[in-house]
Amino acid sequence: MVSFILCLLPALLATTSAQGETLTCNTCFGQTETCSFAPGTCQVNKATGGCLSVAEDITLDGTENTNFYKQCLSSYKSDIEVPISFTVGNGKYVRINTTRCNTDNCNSAVLGVPTGSTTENGLQCPTCFALNFAVCNNSVTPCTGDETYCMDFTGFLYQGSSHSPFQAKGCATASAQAIKPGTNLATALYTFDFFWGSSVPAEKIPTNPPPTTGASLETTTTTPNTTTIPARTTPGASPALGKFSFALYLPGLTGLLLVKLIS
C-alpha cells in the first residue's frame, strides 16, 4: 500500500503544481492602438485560463466606436480568434480582431482593427439589423472589399447587464464561417451569443443588358426621287390633247383641199 502511494505521489505533485501555476497577461483599455488606459498585468490559472487581446470598430448604434483592450480569460476557449468583418447595411458594420493565447505576456503585441473598404467587389447580399424581435427588413446591398460571403445570424446581444435578441444579415468576410451555434464573439462594447446562423458565398450582381434607346427603334424610310416631266404642247393646240390634236383634224383638212382643187 505504501509503495502504491509512493508511486502516485509524483503524479499528484505534478498535477498540483500545474493547477497552481499562474499565467501573466497584459491589461489595458483605450481608443487607440497604444491601449494606454490603465495598463498593467493580471494573473490567471494557466491550466484553464489565457490571455485575450481585442481590437474593434463597431457602428451598430449609429456611431463609430473604436476600442482596444487586453485582459485575462478565466476560461480559455477558442470561439472566434480570426479577424472578422461584416456589414449589415445603413452604415452599420462590425470589424473585430481577436486573439487568445496561453503563455506569459503573449497579448503584449499591438493588435490592429481589420480594415474596411468602400470598393465594390461585384457581389451582393441581403442586409439588415434588428433588435428585440423587430422585423429585419432586408434590402440587397453591394458588398465591398474582402467581404465575399453572405451571413444570416440570430442570437443575443449582451451589453453590460442588459441583453437583447438580435437578427443580422449582411456581407461578411470568409472568416464568418467560424461562427457556429453556441459560439461567442466578445468585444469591448458587446458580446454576441449566436444560437443560429449560416454563411454562404455571395452572388454576383446581375448584369443588365444595355438599354434600348428610342433612336435605335426608329426606321428611316427613303422615298425615291421622282421627276414629273410636263407634256409638250403644240402651239395653238389644246393643252388637254397634247401632241395628238393635229392628227385628229388631218382628214377634214384633206377633204377641204380636194373640194377646192376640183372646183
Q: Report the pLDDT value the prediction gives residue 3, as an integer from 0 to 100.
A: 53
pLDDT in tens, 142-196: 999 999 999 999 999 998 889 999 999 999 999 999 888 888 887 888 889 999 9
Q: Report the pLDDT value the prediction gives residue 70, as an integer from 0 to 100.
A: 93
Q: Report the pLDDT value the prediction gives residue 237, as an integer from 0 to 100.
A: 41
Q: Report the pLDDT value the prediction gives residue 61, as an integer from 0 to 100.
A: 87
Cα–Cα distance, 33 to 124 (Å, whole number): 32
Residue 152: beta bridge partners? 169, 198
Q: Report the pLDDT value the prediction gives residue 78, as an integer from 0 to 100.
A: 59
Q: Supply the mean pLDDT for the chain.
A: 78
23 or 250, which is more confident? 23
Q: Report the pLDDT value the prediction gives residue 79, as an integer from 0 to 100.
A: 64
Q: Is the pLDDT of residue 246 over 60?
A: no
Q: Which of 102-111, 222-231, 232-241 has the highest mean pLDDT?
A: 102-111
Q: Report the pLDDT value the prediction gives residue 180, as an integer from 0 to 100.
A: 86
54 or 79, which is more confident? 54
pLDDT in tens, 112-138: 888 888 999 999 999 999 999 888 988
Q: Report the pLDDT value the prediction gives residue 211, as an integer from 0 to 100.
A: 61
Look at residues 159, 181, 174 and name the one whose alpha carbon lies nearest to residue 58. 159
Cα–Cα distance, 136 to 160 (Å, whole number): 24
Please, which residues have CB within 8 angstroms of residue 179's CB and are 6 or more apart in sequence?
Answer: 80, 84, 151, 153, 185, 194, 197, 199
- For the chain, what percentages of helix, strand and coil (3-state, to nearest 5) are there? 20, 40, 40
Q: Is the pLDDT of residue 9 over 50?
A: no
Look at residues 76, 28, 83 and name the one whose alpha carbon lies nearest to residue 57. 83
Q: Report the pLDDT value the prediction gives residue 13, as an integer from 0 to 100.
A: 47
Residue 41: beta bridge partners? 26
* Listed range (10-14, 24-28, 61-65) with the worst mean pLDDT: 10-14
Q: Report the pLDDT value the prediction gives residue 82, as an integer from 0 to 100.
A: 75
Look at residues 96, 80, 112 and name the one whose alpha carbon lies nearest to residue 197. 80
Alpha helices in 58-136 (DSSP H): none
Place of cell 480559455: 76
Q: Report the pLDDT value the prediction gives residue 183, as an integer from 0 to 100.
A: 85
* pTM more than 0.75: no
